[in-house]
Chain A
Amino acid sequence: MIGTRSRHWVEGWLLVLPALVLLVAFTHWPVIASLIDSLNSTPRRGAAPNFVGLENYQRLVADPVFAKVMWNNAVFAFGTIPTSVVLALLMAVWVNSAIRGRAALRLAYFTPTILPMIAAANIWLFFYTPDYGLLDQITGLFGFGRTNWLGNPDTVLWCIVVMTVWKEAGFFMIFYLAALQAIPPDLTEAASLDGTSRWYFFRRVTLPLIMPTTLFVLVNAVINSFKLVDHIVVMTKGGPDNASSLILYYIYETAFSFWDTAYASALTMVLLVVLALLALVQFGVLERRIHYR
């Protein structure tokens, strides 16, 4: 009896071992290492790092660039998440209906997702170029002069937001499309027999049924708003004067341009805490209101 149980125990651990090893090596250990690094000074010229306690975190509080990139990231998140999710749902509803050229439309919406971020960023870099960029050529037709979209601190972040929404919405649309197609057709038939309006049906039947997808999409959108960095590198390098810098780009800069690894670790810990809090809210609060079939 005991023998069987212990064998189950060993088997169980053996089964999770591959995943566990990967998780520990690439997720848990780096987190712990970053935490340790953030409490030490940056090692320089072969000298060992020494323990400095919370000094790196104190620096962080006093760092205006850190405040700026956090604010930028909040703007970026609020600018991209609701827009891209709503847009994705609208597009999915549209390409789910029986219209001509549906396949072509779906493909068109999905194309930005297939493009690597670097390529997309380069395309949009051209769109935003003053004078001969696409945007200026269009506004030029209406007699507007040149606009330095990416060179102006007031417009640069919004330019990045628009580009990101364009890139992301198609990706989320695919999930919504799958969810919409999984809704049993008898529900639609029953509703039409009852004479339900389309809007009422959408609000009371479709939306609740696709809530699990919405949660999934939201989680992804939130993660992406902190994870995307390639377009910043290509389009603005965080400039002008950090107006388009996001937290991850600032971490990259601190770690690999300034080689201040201790401070970069402290920044990383902040990012981790922010993401953990957001995940708690999403899974703890939202999930309880969601109906899973």
Chain B
Amino acid sequence: MLRKLLMTAVATCFASGVASAVEVTMYYPVSAGGPIAQAYESLAADFTKANPSITIKPVFAGNQVDALVKAQTAARGGNPPAMAIIDSTNVFTLMEDDMIQPISDFVKTEDEKKMLADIYPAFLANSVVGDKVWSLPFQRSTVIMYYNKDAFREAGLDPEKAPATWAEMAAAAQKLVKKDAQGNTVRYGIEIPSSQPDFYWPFQAMVTEAGGTMMSADGKKTSFDSPEMNKSLNYWLSLIKSGAMPSGITAWATVPTNFLAGKTGMMWHTTGNLVRVNKEAKFPVGVAMLPADVKRGTPVGGGNIFIFKGAPAAEKEAAWQFAKWLVSPERSAEFSAKTGYVAVRKAAYDVPAMKKYVAEVPSALVARDQLQYAVKALSTYDNARVHKALMDSLQAGLNGQMPPDAALKKAQADATQILKRFQ
């Protein structure tokens, strides 16, 4: 009798399991100050409303590094999330661990191919390895320059004209410095984050502007001791030396807070903070492309959608449906307007709601327009380790514990050692 009851119970469970919704777990990171969590929650709810057979469970997974660690740990434990939004630079690491399934495997119809073709090429740069697309861009950004127009006016600078070259920026930063009676700086000219794990990113912007590159396309070689790297570190140091930039390490999350509090006239930060900055600033905010040395430049940044190989096929298929829906022009436009991240689709900027938003907030276009100068973000095999080797040395250089060229030589030597087993 008991046995029969149990059997019935088990059978019912199975039957209801098949009939009920597929549940897709999605990890996502938050490394900017915008209302990102709310944006994902509402996107997930809207998707389920339109597709009742699929439930999306967005899981906040910390910052970019935490999100990666969490997904890797779950995958190693045999229980990977079906999808995760992870910093696009981790593609080689995830490939090496055989954890992800290429997006190319899912792209079958003409519409899907068109979708891929409509994504800004700069955003796809970190996704393509060999002949395959490994991840789908979504929560993407670039470094941009924010400046305080009131402070510009006060310092006798033109608030409608952002510095366009390194020399102009250094000069403007110098003018923006304000000191109190005791000679203590109450407002710096510029702040650029130099804390880990993000330091490499604005630094790569400088290196790109100086005309250099940081790594080879196959992710197996770095060029951390190049003349352009030296030039960039020296430029950074010169900003500190002139008193226009605070000394020591400036934390990623502190920079926007300082900017909003009027403690710095300009900052370099992610476009992912655009909505927050525009909302919270008590002064008119200017947004501009990063200044040029020999050319303009920025790395792309932010998270891509990765689909994990080890998840059940039904979940992966459902994740792909959700991923496609997220990257649709309407949804990527919605996400962009809510957060400040750049919409990854060209077509997103033709969506009426987006047109209206851009008309109200023209600064939302700066990051998109800057994409023509954008390069792929520093991405290698054993990515976390190479990033850390570079940033440890950069920090030592910044804090004067090592001369710049010695610091960069050490970074290159360390990276070469780490990448040795991939040659």
Contact = CB atoms under 8 A, between A and B. Distances in A.
Interface string B357-390: 0000000000000000000000000101100100
A140 B392 CA distance: 31
A153 B246 CA distance: 15
A241 B399 contact: yes
Contact of B246 (A146, A258, A260): A146
B69 A241 contact: no
Contacts of B73: 256
Contacts of A129: 254
Given A132-B261, A240-B249, A256-B73, A153 B392 contact: no
The 4 tightest CB contacts between A and B, nearest first, are: A151-B248, A145-B184, A148-B248, A151-B249
B53 interface: no
Contacts of B98: 45-46
Contact of A241 (B65, B183, B251, B396): B396
A130 interface: yes
A256 B73 CA distance: 8
A239 B97 contact: no
Contacts of B196: 237-239
Contact of A239 (B72, B195, B393): B195
Interface in A26-55: 44-46
Contacts of B104: none
A92 to B, nearest CB: 37
Contacts of B97: 44-45, 259
Given A46-B98, A257-B384, A259-B72, A240 B395 contact: yes
Interface in A131-164: 131-132, 140, 143-146, 148, 150-153
Contacts of A282: none
Contacts of B195: 151, 237, 239-240
Given A237-B195, A241-B393, A258-B382, A146 B184 contact: yes
A151 B248 CA distance: 5
B234 interface: no
Contact of B65 (A65, A131, A242, A257): A257
13 contacts: A45-B97, A132-B261, A132-B263, A143-B182, A144-B184, A148-B247, A148-B249, A239-B395, A241-B401, A253-B388, A256-B73, A257-B385, A258-B384
Interface of A: 44-46, 65, 129-132, 140, 143-146, 148, 150-153, 237-242, 253, 256-260
Contacts of A238: 196
A131 B263 contact: yes
Interface in B168-203: 182-185, 194-197
Nearest to B69: A256
A193 to B, nearest CB: 60
Interface of B: 65, 69, 72-73, 96-98, 182-185, 194-197, 246-251, 254, 258, 261, 263, 382, 384-385, 388, 391-393, 395-396, 398-399, 401
A257 B197 CA distance: 11
Given A45-B98, A257-B65, A239 B249 contact: yes
Nearest to A68: B392
A240 B402 CA distance: 13
Contact of B250 (A45, A151, A253, A259): A151
Given A151-B194, A239-B395, 13 more contacts: A44-B97, A65-B392, A146-B246, A148-B247, A152-B247, A153-B399, A239-B196, A239-B392, A240-B249, A241-B395, A257-B65, A257-B69, A258-B385
Nearest to A237: B196
A79 B211 CA distance: 47
Nearest to B382: A258
B248 A152 contact: yes
A152 B250 CA distance: 10
Contacts of A143: 182, 184
A239 B73 CA distance: 24
A148 B392 CA distance: 18
A45 B96 CA distance: 6
Contacts of B72: 256, 259
Given A151-B251, A259-B97, A241 B392 contact: yes
A107 B400 CA distance: 44
A238 B392 CA distance: 10
Given A132-B261, A239-B249, A259-B97, A152 B254 contact: no
A153 to B, nearest CB: 5
Given A239-B395, A241-B399, A148 B246 contact: yes
B75 to A, nearest CB: 11
A152 B184 contact: no
A279 to B, nearest CB: 30
Nearest to A155: B248
Contact of A237 (B182, B185, B197, B384): B197
A131 B262 CA distance: 11
Contacts of B382: 258
B399 A146 contact: no
Contacts of A148: 246-250
Nearest to B62: A233
A30 to B, nearest CB: 16
A146 B69 contact: no
Contacts of A132: 261, 263
Contacts of B261: 131-132
Residue with the greatest number of chain A CB neighbours at <10 A, chosen from B194, B261, B385, B392: B392
A144 B184 CA distance: 7
A53 B201 CA distance: 39
A150 to B, nearest CB: 8
B248 A240 contact: yes
